[in-house]
Structure 1
C-alpha cells in the first residue's frame, strides 16, 4: 500500500496517510477520473470501508481528497450515520485530520496560507473554494480547460458531456449560462472547468 500511495501523494505524507488508512481499515480504490467528484466514501454491505479517489488528481489534491473521505468515515463512526455529510462534525474531524499535513515538508510554502484559510471552515469540496481551487490547479498537468470566471462574457464553451453553453452574467456567486441547444439557463460555479470554443 505504501508503494501505491507513493505514486499519488507527497513523499513526506506517505507514512501518516498509510497509518490512517490502516487504522481506519480502509479499502482504497484509485479509479479513472470522474468529472463530478474527486472521491467518495461508502460503507460496504460486509462492513468494510471503501474510499475511491481519482487517479488523475495532482498529489496535493489527492491527499486532501483522501483525508476528506476518511473524515467522513470517522465522523459517521463517532457521531452516527444521521449527521449531515458536510456538517459541523465532519468539518471538525476533517480539520483535526488535516492539521499534521499542513506543513512545509508536505505542501509547497505558497499553498500553506491558502490551506490554513480553507481549513478554518472547510467546504464540501475544495473546488467550491475559488482561491484553493486555483492554487491547487497550478500543480495540475497542462490542459485545454479554462475556469468559467476566466472566460469573456458571451463566449461559448463545451462541457465534458458535449453540451454547449453561452456564458452570461454573474448572479451572486454563480454564472448564468444558456445551453444553446435547449435555451435553458444553468448556474455554474466560477471555477467549473470547461473547454472554450469562442
Structure 2
C-alpha cells in the first residue's frame, strides 16, 4: 500500500497517511476521473469504509481529497450518522487531520499560507476556494481547458457534458452564464474548468 501511495502523494506524507488508512480501516480505491467529484466516502453494506479518489489528481490535491474523505469517516464515527456531511463536526475533523500535513516537507511553500487560511474554515470542496484551487492547478498536468473567469464576456464555452453556454456578468462571486439551447441562466464558480469555443 505504501508503494502505491508514493505514486499519488508527496513522499513525506506516505507514512502518516498509511497509518491513517490502517487506523481507520479504510479500503482505498483509486479510480479513473469522475468529472463531478474528486473523491467520496461510503460505508458498504458489509460495514467496510470505502474511499475512492480520482487517479488523475496532482499529488497535493490527491492528498487533500483523501484526508477530506477520511474526515467524513472520522466525523461519522465520532459524532454519529445524523450530522451534516460538511457541517462543523466534519470541518473540525478535517482540520485536525490536515494540520500535521501543512508543512514545507509536504506542500510547496507558496501553498502553505493558502492552506492555513483554507483550514480555518474548510469548505465542502477545495474547488470553491478560488485562490487555493488556482494555486493547486499549477501542479496539474497541462490540459486545453480554461477557467470561466478567463472566458471573455459574451464568449461561448462547452462543459464536459457537451452543453454550450455564453458567459455573462459577474455577480458577487460567481458568473451568470446562459445555456444556449434552453435560454436558462446558471451561476458558475470563476475557477470552473471549461472548453473555450469562441468570442
TM bin, normalised by shorter chain, reads over 0.9
Residues of 2 paired with 1:184 and 1:156: CA distance? 15
CA distance in structure 2 between the aligned counterparts of 1:111 and 1:162, rounded to whole angstroms: 33
Distance 2:106 2:153 in 1: 38
Q: Does 1:15 align with 2:15?
A: yes
Gaps in structure 2 of 5+ consecutive residues: none
Structure 2 partner of 1:93: 93
- Deviation, structure 1 residue 189: 1.0
CA distance in 2, matches of 1:36, 1:168: 23
Alignment partner, residue 73 of structure 1: 73
State the alpha-carbon separation in 1 of the partners of residues 183 and 88 from structure 2: 39
Q: 182-191 or 110-119, which moves further after superposition? A: 182-191
- Give the CA deviation at 1:129: 0.2
Counterpart in 2 of 1:26?
26
Q: How does 1:78-157 map to 2 (within 5 A)?
A: 78-157=78-157
Moved more, 76-85 or 145-154: 145-154
RMSD over aligned CA atoms reads 0.6
Shift of 1:187: 1.1
Structure 1 residues 32-51: aligned runs within 5 Å: 32-51=32-51
Superposition TM-score, scaled by structure 2 size: 0.98
Instruction: Find the aligned partners of 1:174 and 1:156 in 2 and give their Cα distance.
Output: 17
SS in 2 for 1:92: helix
Separation in structure 2 between the aligned mates of residue 139 and residue 29 of structure 1, nearest angstrom: 22
1:150 and 1:196 map into 2 onto residues whose CA distance is 9
Match of 1:175 in 2: 175
Instruction: For residue 113 of structure 1, report the CA deviation from its aligned partner.
Output: 0.5
- Aligned-pair distance for 1:172? 1.9
